[in-house]
Chains A and B, each alone.
Chain A
Amino acid sequence: QKEVEQNSGPLSVPEGAIASLNCTYSDRGSQSFFWYRQYSGKSPELIMFIYSNGDKEDGRFTAQLNKASQYVSLLIRDSQPSDSATYLCAVRIGGSYIPTFGRGTSLIVHP
């Protein structure tokens, strides 16, 4: 079982819709969870982090963490074409300092 798993997509949503991106992880002891956005040919950009169970909102983005089920999700409300990118989930597995990445989910927001 891979340590951090994401559906590679692409996930295609219409402009204005809610995009829902999911990530599961293998180690129940993991404590830190991150979402990065990566445009083609660019570097990953941190957009959300969450450390506690529940929801965390920042503008149009909401991160949701469920440690019991070992998943973390990212919701993007009012999706825009500029949100089209690959979204990378990263987890500090167990007690490690090292962020381990999933393969990313490609999101396409069409006008």
Chain B
Amino acid sequence: NAGVMQNPRHLVRRRGQEARLRCSPMKGHSHVYWYRQLPEEGLKFMVYLQKENIIDESGMPKERFSAEFPKEGPSILRIQQVVRGDSAAYFCASSPPGEGNTEAFFGQGTRLTVV
């Protein structure tokens, strides 16, 4: 049973380019969460998605950032016109559906470097 898969593991982009980060949740999981982590800092929530729906994007910058979780395929976090300040580790987590208590598991992360 594969875990949460993120790719690429490392991504280098020049200022002004677009970055696309992919996340495939664990089998049977339909909830996806994206977090950003700067060096020596905690995990900052960005966006929470279910299949074909953005449930909560309160942590995502209003400009340049977008996320989707289509019916088929992985969840995508897209950053347009990247700037140096976007350099960080981006983690995706997934959890199973249901109203009760469920645990979230993380992927290996994508480390974005903007040069």
Contacts and interface: CB of A to CB of B under 8 A. Distances in A.
A101 B43 contact: yes
Given A31-B101, A51-B101, A98-B48, A43 B33 contact: no
A45 B103 CA distance: 11
A43 B106 contact: yes
Interface residues of A, number: 23
Q: Is the interface of B mostly helix, strand, loop or mixed?
A: strand
A46 interface: yes
Interface in B63-115: 91, 93, 95, 101-109
A43 B45 contact: no
B90 to A, nearest CB: 11
A71 B84 CA distance: 37
A33 to B, nearest CB: 9
B105 A88 contact: no
B106 A98 contact: no
A49 B103 contact: yes
B55 interface: yes
Interface of A: 31-32, 34, 36, 42-46, 49, 51, 88, 90, 92, 96-104
Interface of B: 31, 33, 35, 41-43, 45, 48, 55-56, 91, 93, 95, 101-109
25 contacts: A32-B102, A34-B103, A34-B104, A42-B108, A43-B91, A43-B106, A43-B107, A43-B109, A44-B43, A44-B93, A46-B104, A46-B106, A49-B103, A88-B42, A97-B31, A97-B55, A97-B95, A98-B33, A98-B48, A99-B45, A99-B93, A99-B104, A101-B43, A103-B42, A104-B42
